[in-house]
Chains A and B, each alone.
Chain A
Amino acid sequence: MRCALETQGLAKLYGHRLALADCTLTIPTGHVAALVGPNGAGKTTLLHLAVGLLAPTRGAIRVLGESPARGARQLAQLGFVAQETPLYEDMSVADHLRFGGSLNPSWDRELAERRVDQIGLDRAQRAGALSGGQRAQLALTLAIAKRPQLLILDEPVARLDPLARREFLQQLMEAVAEQGLSVILSSHLVSDLERVCDYLVILVSSRVQLAGEIDSLLDSHRQLTGPRPGPWGLPEGQEVIEATHTDRQSTLLVRTDGPILDPNWGVDRIGLEDLVLAYMRRAGRSAAHSPMASTVDP
């Protein structure tokens, strides 16, 4: 299996500050993968390492099977949109397209022009005068028109209003369908991810808490509700990710491989957002107690 991104014990120090510590993960190609986690989890550092803007302090990282930014060929396979969607403020939209064309040997001019028409950008407009949504769309167009195999987006929609966010994701999904791109995008907005992503990596304090194809992750988790554990206790053979109790009722999130037949529990599927939040809370709790802290408090 070819990997879009593969890291082993990856670490990055800024002076004495550890921005990423011992991070090991694998993201296969052919997916739109979401990298989610709280601020400070190391998402941006990881993505900057992947595109070669940073060099690792320790550990190994491979992007599309090679070390990041190893020569022009490797760079041509990667599209990257940074968090601030950096553009040249005084250059026009048309200038950006010309500039992109002159820098990238694989530049698809027809694709770039078609996308600019689709988005409805005025080619004479200065980048500095574009709205947030238009900036994001232009940055995405520049990244896609170089015809990369892997597109890396750092918090692409975090600062967009709901309409601009939807339009951005529409353009992104159309490009994925058309070009068969792999995408890795970081986000702390979980609500959009269920539509656009099919692979999930939850990163908290540099550690992968959960990774896999979203459909199978949702199939293998269930929310159980029942009277507060009486004589029968917790269901057997399930890994309890999170348990909350009122004086009468217990609600559990469990990871399970088979059906739950225990009649004492009501069984429901769980949505992606609740799943992500539960794993983030669990990581927060175990960090707060000790590295070996138990995750279940029955």
Chain B
Amino acid sequence: MIDFHLDTRSGVAPYLQLVHQVRDALRLGLLTPGDQLPTVKSVAGRLAINPNTVLKAYRELEHGGLVAARPGVGTFVTGRLTHASPAAHEGLRRELLVWLGEARASGLDDESIEALFRECHWSTQAEGAA
């Protein structure tokens, strides 16, 4: 089961942080259809956050077709966000790790690596849109 955390200094609304964490878990294959999300009560109690915040996050995910609430039972994952197979994921991850090793060996620091990644990512997105 997914374990939520909250960063109150990030400036991102708490409910959106929960939404992002579920979406990330779906992307990475940590959550798959049929999995149950923690109950509102347990998330509220563990993180000391308002239950309405958790409800709002779950409603947003439901709206996006990623989860469904079964009254009296809980909230379950119904959608996927990853189309690639886990095997493809693993291959890409290995290649990325190799690339990161080379980048560090060439003397790039973390900020430069992130900037380079963002720049390449944007330029490929721009090509896709053109």
Binding site for B on A (CB under 8 A): 31-32, 166, 169-174, 176-178, 191-192, 194-198, 215, 218, 269, 271
Contacts and interface: CB of A to CB of B under 8 A. Distances in A.
B45 A177 contact: yes
B53 A198 contact: yes
Count chain B CB atoms within 10 A of each CB in A31, A170, A171 and give the residue with the most. A170
Count chain A CB atoms within 10 A of each CB in B6, B46, B49, B54 and give the residue with the most. B49
Contacts of A176: 44, 50-51
A173 B13 contact: no
A253 to B, nearest CB: 15
A218 B13 contact: yes
Nearest to A178: B41
B46 A170 contact: yes
Contacts of B123: none
Contact of B52 (A170, A171, A198, A269): A198
A218 B15 CA distance: 13
A195 B41 contact: no
Contacts of B50: 32, 173, 176, 195-198
B14 A194 contact: yes
For the complex of A and B, the 5 pairs showing the least CB-CB separation, nearest first, are A174-B45, A177-B51, A169-B48, A177-B41, A173-B44
18 contacts: A169-B48, A170-B45, A170-B46, A170-B47, A173-B49, A174-B45, A176-B50, A176-B51, A177-B40, A177-B45, A191-B8, A194-B8, A195-B6, A195-B8, A195-B14, A196-B48, A198-B53, A271-B11
A174 B39 CA distance: 11
